[in-house]
Chain A
C-alpha cells in the first residue's frame, strides 16, 4: 500500500512537472470577459451577439486567408503582439438586471482575471458593470449601449464604439442635404415619434441637428406606441403633406402606420424610418412589400463581395446555420475586433497598457464590419468615427445606399410604397 501510494505520487509529480514545462512553452491565453443578456427579455439579442464574437475570436485564433488580406489581425495564430497568445472568451449572463451585471463584472475581474471586458447590451447594465471595471482599473468597452450619459461620467477606462443618437441625426441630415443638392425637394420635414424615452429623445436630437443644418422641421407628431388607431396622425400628415417624413416607431405601430397610409393613400416623397420597428424581421416579412423604397438606417447591411462585412457574414452564417449578422450582432463583433486589435498592439495583458492601446486606436473604414467611418476614441472614450449606413427597402430587403463608397445599390426616389 505504502509503495503504491508512493508510486502514485511520483506519477502525479511527473505529470505535474510535464504540465509546467508545456505550460511554459505555450503562451498563456488572453482572457476577455464578455457580459451579455443570455437569459431574460433580451436573451435573443445577447445570444446572437455571443455567436458573432465567437466568430471573431475564431478568426483571430485560427486565421482566415481572405480577411487577412484586409485586416492584419486575421492572419491566424493568435495575437502576434503577445507571441501568438490565443484569445479566450469568458461569457457571463447579466440576466437583464443591473445587479447581476455588476456582480458578474466583479467575478470576471477578480476570479477569472480577465484583461478587459466587453458588454453589456442594456445601457442600465453597462452603467453598473463599467463602474466596477473603473474602480478596479480594467478596460471596459461597450459595443451597443447608446445612453448619452455613459461617456459623460469622467471614466478613464471606458470606451464605446457604437454610434449614438446624435450620429444618426447627423447621418440623416447629411443624407437629406445631399438629396437636396441632387434636386430632390426637402422643403418640409415631419417627425412622427412614439412618446416614450426612445421616441422623444431621438426626435429632439434630430430636430436640434436639423435646425443647425437649415432643414426645416415643420411638423412634430407624438403618439403612443400601443395605440390601436393612427388615422388622426396620418390625416394630419396628409393635410400638411411634408416632403420628408421620419418615423421613430416600435413594431406594432410601424405596422399600423404602414397599413393606414396605404388605406388613406398618402405618402411623402422621402420616407425615413429610424431602425427599431421598421427593422423588426416580423415587420419586414409581413409588410416589406408595402414599403418599397423606405429609407432606413442600420450599422450593418451586408457588403460588396470580398469586403470585411461580407466575409464575416459568411462565417457567421456558417456558425448560426443561415442567420445573417444584424445591426446588434455586427456592432458586438466590431467591438470585439477593436478590443483584440488593442490588446495585440499593447503586446501585454496589463490593463493599463491595453487602455493606452485603446486610446491610440485608429482603424480605417475598410476594416469595419459595421458601417462606421472607422474607430478612433475621443477623451471621453466615444468613437468619433462612429456612423451608420443608410439603407433602402428593395424587393423585400434592405440594401445599403449611403455613404456612396460602401453602398451596394443606387438610391431610388421618390418613395414608392405599395
Chain B
C-alpha cells in the first residue's frame, strides 16, 4: 500500500492488482461524482461540441502550422493513399471571391483530399464544416480538428441556427468553407440526399457554391473501416453556382446536388455525354437506384472510370 493511500486512509487493495486496475477502483474524489437522483443537473458549460470556440485556430500561428501540415505530411499521405486525379480546377478561373465548396462524402479521407486539391488562393483561407457531435466530442479532438483541418463545428443532430450563423459570418468575413451537404459519410457507397446547409450559407453570405464530386475514397477508407487501403481517387470541380433571386434554399440545394450528380456522371463517362444527359434531365442520381441493397451494391461497380478503362498492355497495331 502506498504512502499516499495510507495518508488518505484508503481501503487496502487486494494483492497483485495492476496500477491501472487500482486507479479504476478508486472512487470519488479521484473519479467524477455520480449525480444523486432527483437533483437537476446544471447545463454543461464545457468548451466542446457546438460550443467549442475555434477562433484561436484562425490566428496566424495556427494557420501557419496548418499550412505546413496540409502542404507537407497531409499532401504526402493523400498522394500515397489515393494518387488523386484532379480535374476542373480551371472552372474556378473566374472565381474572384471566397466560396463555399460543397462535395459528396464517402470517407474521412475526403477532407485531406480536398484540402490538398482546392487551389490557391482558397486553400489556405478555408474552414471545414465538421460534425460537432463527432469531431468536437472531446477537448483533444476539438483542438486537433481545429488545428489540422481548420474545422468549425456544425450541428447535425438537432435543429440549430447557431453554428450555421457562425459559419455564415465567417464566410462573409472572407473565409471559404468546405462542407459536405450529405451530413455524413456514405453508408453504402452511394450518395445521400443533400441537406440545405450549403445553400442556406450561400444565400446568407452571398458567396457562390463550388460543387465538387469525389470518387474513389470509399474504396480507400469507407465508413466503418479503420485502416486505409491504398487505391485511386478523383476530384472534379464544377462551375461556381450563385443562387438565383427567386430561388429558395431547398431548390438551390437541389441544384447543387444535381450539379454534383452531373460531375459524377462526367467522371464516370465523359464530359460531353454527361452534358447531353444533363440537358435531357437524364443524369444518374447520386443516391443510386431505389432497389434492394444487393442490386445497389452491384450497380455501384460500374461507376469507377478506372474500373472500365483497363490499362492496355500491348499497343493496338
Q: Do A and B come from one complex?
A: no
B residues adjacent to A (C-beta < 8 A): none
